Structure 1
Amino acid sequence: MFTGPESVLPGPFRVTEAAARAVAAATVEAAELLQLKGIDPGPVSVDRRHAAAAFRSERYVRLDGEPLPGLWDPLTGDYRAADGWVRLHCNYPHHAEAACRALGTKDLAAAVAKRGAEDVQEAVLAEGGAAAAMRGREEWLAHPQGQVLAESPLVAWDSLGPAPVTGLSTSERPLGGVRVLELTHVIAGPVAGRVLAAHGAEVLHVGAAHLPALPGLWADTGLGKRSAHVDLRTRAGRDTLWRLIGQADVFLQSYRPGALAGLGFTAERLAEARPGIVVAELNAYGWDGPWAGRRGFDSLVQLASGIAAEAAVDGPRPLPAQALDHGTGWLTAAAIMTALRRRALEGGSWRVRLSLARTGLWLDSLGREEGSAGELDVSGLLTRTGRTTHVRVPGELPGAPPCWASAAPEPGGDEARFGA
């Protein structure tokens, strides 16, 4: 099933292997759906180099041959504190403002240097920002949140109640006829939706004009989707979302726990409104424990969970890819396809939950390696869709080769409805 060298990325963690396994999980599930339709999927295989490139896809995307705005704001970074290191995530303006408020200055480096890392972390979080102090692996495993995660499954499953069997469409693509309503941001959730689109799902991404966005990421993760703006602060916006839920097969969301539920969009109410729906939810630190509601991003989880402390010399050592984001995204897509297959065989409404921190424990469980010292060779792995050059969909599925039919649309440029 796997081809290519076992390691093509630097660092002690087996990120190449994690990428290959996550891509394989989704591709195998797509093959299972084809078989259920009576279509021979052909031999599934995953090239490790291709999977690793997909885990760094935002690095290679180009628009008309030109690179897009970078992912990191100048204020985002690892800061030396009085007793260690802390990372501040300032890619969104409101997070940058929160960090400056918490520290009382825009000279973040000077302010952090005078305080303890945990103190900075908690002060920034209290202001509505995003931060994480670096701790070692053993510290994380002993931490209350690390202990909860160690007892949690990689993919948590819940039944949301009975519903009639919903058969698969006659489409020759694994997810043809499947409607996905995606309310996600940054990388993990959008990657999950992008994978579903690659296998034929109709994916409608719902955002809002007033919410911050990262254009460079959208060009990469918006491939194959449509995009509509809906303001959930208004009654009309919430009514629109309920209308879309009534037509959706999948509801995919990656907002901070409680954000959508606070507006009435709980998994249980979704299942009542749309029996047979598959609800997929992602977050940073897991769904139970003291940090369950804490906001976080891949780079923050790497520091908090001991990953960035592995082989650290003069400061945190990040993974060679946003592997927690991409890994969680691909595994979520696989879990959604499993739920859709179960729905076709036995009915029911289903919920799947994943988190970046739990994916981090899975990566940790794969062991260590010396890694590759060279730059990843992406020759032959790029293609062009419209004006966008990007990494091709990894994972060979001869019976229905995955692909994106369109480049990322203008954010909010489509109507809030299914059916192109």
Structure 2
Amino acid sequence: LALQLQPNLVLGICTSAGSVTAHSTLIANTLGIPMVVGIGTQLLSLATDTQIALDGTTGEVWIEPSPVQLLKAKQSQTFVKSPAPQEAITKDGRKIAVMANIVGVADAEFALECGAEGVGLLRSEFLYLHRQTPPTEAEEYETYQAIAQIMGSRPLTIRTLDIGGDKTVPYIKLESEPNPFLGWRGIRQSLDTPEIFQTQLRAILRASYGHNIKVMFPMVASVQEVRAAKKILTEVENSLSEVGNIKVGIMVEVPAAVTMANQLAKEVDFFSIGTNDLSQYVMAADRTNSKVANLTNGLEPAVLRMTQQTVIAAHEAGISVSVCGQLASNSVAVPILLGLGVDELSVAPPAISIVKRVISQLDMLEVEAIAHSVLKLDGAKSVQEYIVAQVGIEI
């Protein structure tokens, strides 16, 4: 349903349950639709045609809002859509690449309008959802090619199919699982459905010719999975006559991938940290469950320590690290991520201008010291308070 939303028709979304890192919320963010989740069941008792105003940044919701409240909601939207600086450069001259998370061709154009320097995450599952059969190679190729052409020489990172968890399709037989987020999804599923996987890789490799395309595998938990996926990628590549010089990366979103990051880094060209899933796995809390959503906060020191460990292993191996989870869009988190050594941030297009402005107000030596300090704090609330108090920027 989220993928079918039209931003020109939907002004905002308010839900009684859910969390800020649920798939539907992430899609709404990507489309630039303000969304507030987990309001409670009282929302369901409101009469049809009740006027509601919301601020997707602060999480405020007003029932039958006053003129002042309406103005505040409109101003928050205007700020999000304001022009971004061309480049994100810290006060001491460090350039940080700010990419976009997108789900389709229209998003690619929107991302560039917002100031994206490329695509750090193309959620390719948008091609597979809401249909009875998997997309053909031609359909996938045309879509990837169209997005690559919009990007020009800018990088386009395509995540291979990540179905499962809170995303299902009728043509892949997903048995009912007690814990679907711990089940058959991501690269595990792709390796078990080679025909679908090979078709997608063929389309990606064909589109890579003449373009700056990267491919990355989701939900990697072991070196063996990466090697198996790379083997299939190589076989498909050898069957094609014209392919680009494609780089291969993985999503680091499983604690096992963090602990094995030094070995995984030898297998790939880059890491992309998916803080949405990493947070729920580290904290043992379902990110779609509003009752425990507060535990899946990427600012938890446990999650930040995992991020630090990943960055250290990657840099020792000479590869780059991006963060593409919701945490990268959080103004409070940006100083920490830069201080931990993250090379690139990939965010929802509407957040690009905000993230770039925050970066332009930072000094690398200062944020490195800040990151070192927050790792010693006792929880996400303490981290939030520390950043707001210590960092002299407009959060």
Where on the TM-score scale, by shorter chain, does this alignment land: which range? Answer: under 0.3
More helix by share: 2
**What's the TM-score once normalised by structure 1's chain length?**
0.25
**Higher RCO structure (Cα 8 Å, ≥6 apart):** 1
